[in-house]
A and B are shown apart, each in its own frame.
Chain A
Amino acid sequence: MNEDQKILEPSESVTMTDSAPTGITNESGTPKMTARNVDVFYGDKQAINDVSIDVNMDAVTAFIGPSGCGKSTFLRCMNRMNDTIPIARVTGEIKLEGEDIYASRMDVVQLRARVGMVFQKPNPFPKSIYDNIAYGPRIHGLATGKEDLDEIVESSLQRAGLWGEVKDRLQDSGTALSGGQQQRLCIARAIAVDPEVILMDEPCSALDPIATAKIEELIHELRGKYAIVIVTHNMQQAARVSQKTAFFHLGTLVEYGETTDIFTNPREEKTRDYITGRYG
Chain B
Amino acid sequence: MTSTTLLFLVIGLGLVAWFFGRLKAASLQSRGPNSRSVLHSLPNYHGWYVALWAIVPAAIFMTVWSFVSPALITDAALTSPAAAQLPTDGFARAAILSEARAIAYGNQVNAFNPLSQSMVEPYREAIAYYQMIGAIAALLMVFACGAYAWLRIKPDLRARTKIERVTMLLLLLASLIAIITTVGIFLSLVFETARFFSMVSPIDFLFGTEWNPKAVAGPRGETGFGAIPLFWGTVFIGAIIAMIVAIPLGLMSAIYLTQYAPAKFRSWMKPILEVLAGVPTVVYGYFAALTVAPALRDFAVSIGISNASSESALAAGVVMGIMIIPFVSSMADDSIAAVPSAMRDGSLAMGATQSETIKKVLIPAALPGVVGGVLLAVSRAIGETMIVVMAAGLAANMTANPFSSVTTVTTQIVQLLTGDQEFDSPKTLAAFALGLVLFIVTLLLNLIALRVVKKYREAYE
Which residues of A approach B to under 8 Å, CB–CB?
79, 81, 84, 86, 108-113, 116-117, 119, 121, 123-127, 135-136, 139-140, 186, 189-190, 193
- Cα of A15 to Cα of B218 in the assembled complex, Å: 110
Give the residues from 328 to 344 in chain B that come closer than 8 angstroms, CB to CB, to chain A. 340, 342-344
Q: Could you jot down 18 A-B contacts, CB within 8 Å?
A: A81-B345, A84-B344, A84-B345, A86-B262, A86-B263, A109-B352, A109-B353, A111-B351, A113-B351, A117-B349, A119-B342, A123-B346, A124-B346, A125-B364, A126-B365, A135-B347, A139-B350, A139-B360
Q: Which residues of A contact B365 (CB under 8 A)?
A: 125-126
> A123–B360 Cα gap in the complex (Å)?
15
Q: Which of B's residues lie within 8 Å of A, judged by CB?
A: 262-263, 340, 342-353, 356, 360-361, 364-365, 459
Residues on the B chain within 8 Å of A81, using CB: 345, 348-349
Q: Which residues of B contact A123 (CB under 8 A)?
A: 340, 342-343, 345-346
- What 16 additional pairs, Cβ within 8 angstroms, besides A124-B346, A125-B347, A193-B350? A86-B262, A108-B351, A109-B351, A109-B352, A112-B351, A119-B345, A123-B342, A123-B343, A135-B352, A135-B360, A139-B351, A139-B356, A140-B351, A189-B346, A189-B350, A193-B351
- In angstroms, Cα B339 to Cα A83, docked, is 19
CB distance from A13 to the nearest CB of B (A): 40
> Could you tell me the distance between the alpha carbons of A121 and B345 in the complex, rounded to whole angstroms?
11
Known contacts: A119-B342, A125-B361, A126-B364. The answer to whether A112 contacts B350 by CB under 8 A is yes
| Set of chain B residues within 8 Å of A126, measured between Cβ atoms | 343, 364-365, 459
Interchain CA distance A270-B353 in the complex, whole Å: 41
Q: Can you list the 6 inter-chain pairs with the closest CB atoms, starting with the nearest?
A: A113-B351, A112-B351, A117-B349, A123-B342, A123-B346, A136-B350
In contact, B345 and A110 (Cβ under 8 angstroms): no
Tell me if B's interface is mostly helix, strand, loop or mixed: helix
Output the least CB separation between A77 and chain B (Å). 13
Chain A residues lying within 8 Å of B360, measured Cβ to Cβ, are 125, 135, 139
A139 to B361, CA, bound (A): 12
Q: How far is the CB of A98 from chain B (nearest CB, A)?
A: 20
Bound CA–CA A140/B347 (angstroms): 12
A139 to B347, CA, bound (A): 10
Q: Note all chain A residues with C-beta closer than 8 A to B364.
A: 125-127
B173 to nearest A CB, angstroms? Answer: 44
Rounded to whole angstroms, the CA-CA distance of A124 and B352 in the bound complex is 15
- A136–B165 Cα distance when bound, in Å, is 60
Give the chain A neighbours of B347 by CB distance below 8 A.
125, 135
**Complex interface: chain B residues within 8 A of A116 (CB):** 349-350
How many residue pairs bridge A and B at CB < 8 Å? Answer: 68
Which residues on the A side are within 8 Å of B262 (C-beta)?
86
- Give the complex CA separation of A117 and B361 in angstroms: 17
Among A79, A110, A116, A135, max chain B CB count under 10 A is at A135
Q: How far is the CA of A119 from the CA of B350 in the complex (A)?
A: 12
- CB nearest to B366 among chain A residues: A126
Docked CA distance A139–B352 (Å): 7
A126 to B362, CA, bound (A): 10
Residues of A within 8 A of B340 (CB): 123
Q: Which residues of A contact B343 (CB under 8 A)?
A: 123, 125-126
Which residue on chain A has the smallest CB distance to residue B343?
Answer: A123
Asked whether, in the complex, the Cβ of A119 is within 8 Å of the Cβ of B348, the reply is: no
Closest to A108 in B: B351
Q: Nearest residue in B to A199 (C-beta to C-beta)?
A: B349
Q: A189: which B residues are within 8 A, CB to CB?
A: 346, 350
- List B contacts of A84 (CB < 8 A): 344-345, 348
| Chain B, Cβ-Cβ closest to A118 | B349
Q: Separation in Å of the A185 CB from the closest CB of chain B?
A: 11
Instruction: Report how far A73 CA is from B180 CA in the complex, Å.
Output: 57
Partner of A125, one of B346, B348, B353, B459: B346
Chain B residues within an 8 Å CB radius of A117:
349
Q: In the complex, what residue of chain B is closest to A132 when comparing beta carbons? A: B346
Residues of B within 8 A of A121 (CB): 342
| A116–B340 alpha-carbon span in the complex (Å) | 20
A42, chain B: closest CB distance, angstroms: 15
**Residue in B343, B352, B364 whose Cβ sees the most chain A Cβ within 10 Å:** B352
CB distance from B396 to the nearest CB of A (A): 45
In the complex, what distance in Å separates the CA atom of A186 from the CA atom of B343? 11
Say yes or no: B351 contacts A136, CB within 8 Å. Answer: yes
- The interface residues of chain B lying within 8 Å CB-to-CB of A110 are 351
Q: Which residue of B lies closest to A137 (CB)?
A: B350
The docked-state distance in angstroms from the alpha carbon of A112 to that of B347 is 10
Bound: A193/B348 CA distance, A = 13
Give the shortest distance, in Å, between A126 (CB) and chain B (any CB). 5
A79–B356 CB distance below 8 A: no
- Cα-based distance from A186 to B365 in the complex (angstroms): 17
Bound form: Cα–Cα A212–B345 in Å: 22
| Closest chain B CB from A118 CB (angstroms) | 8
Which residues does chain A contribute within 8 Å of B356, judged by CB atoms? 139
How many Å lie between the Cα of A111 and that of B349 in the bound state? 9
B349 touches A112 (CB 8 A): yes
Residues from chain A with a CB closer than 8 A to the CB of B263 are 86
Complex CA–CA separation, A126 to B350 (angstroms): 15
Give the one of B263, B340, B348 with max A CB within 10 A.
B348
User: Which A residues touch B352, using CB under 8 A?
Assistant: 109, 135-136, 139
Measured CA separation A79–B345 after assembly (Å): 12
Chain B nearest Cβ from A140, distance in angstroms: 6
A113–B356 Cα distance when bound, in Å, is 14
Chain A residue nearest in CB terms to B348? A84
- Complex Cα distance, B343 from A84, in Å, reads 13
**A114–B340 alpha-carbon span in the complex (Å):** 25
A108 to B340, CA, bound (A): 22
A137 to chain B, nearest CB (A): 10
> Once the chains are docked, how many angstroms separate the CA of A113 from the CA of B344?
15
The docked-state distance in angstroms from the alpha carbon of A112 to that of B365 is: 22
Min CB gap A206→B, angstroms: 11
For residue A75, give the distance in angstroms from its CB to the closest CB of chain B. 11
Are B349 and A79 neighbours in the complex by a CB distance under 8 Å? yes
Would A119 and B346 count as touching, CB distance under 8 A? yes
- CA separation between A124 and B346, bound complex, in Å? 8
Nearest A-chain residue to B356, judged by Cβ: A139
Min CB gap A246→B, angstroms = 21
> Please, which residues of chain A bring their CB within 8 A of the CB of B344?
84
B177 to chain A, nearest CB (A): 42
Among B345, B364, B365, the one with the most A-chain Cβ atoms within 10 Å of its Cβ is B345
Q: Which residues of A contact B346 (CB under 8 A)?
A: 119, 123-125, 186, 189
A113 near B345 with CB under 8 A, answer: no
Q: How far is the CA of A86 from the CA of B360 in the complex (A)?
A: 23
For A79, list chain B residues within 8 Å (CB).
349
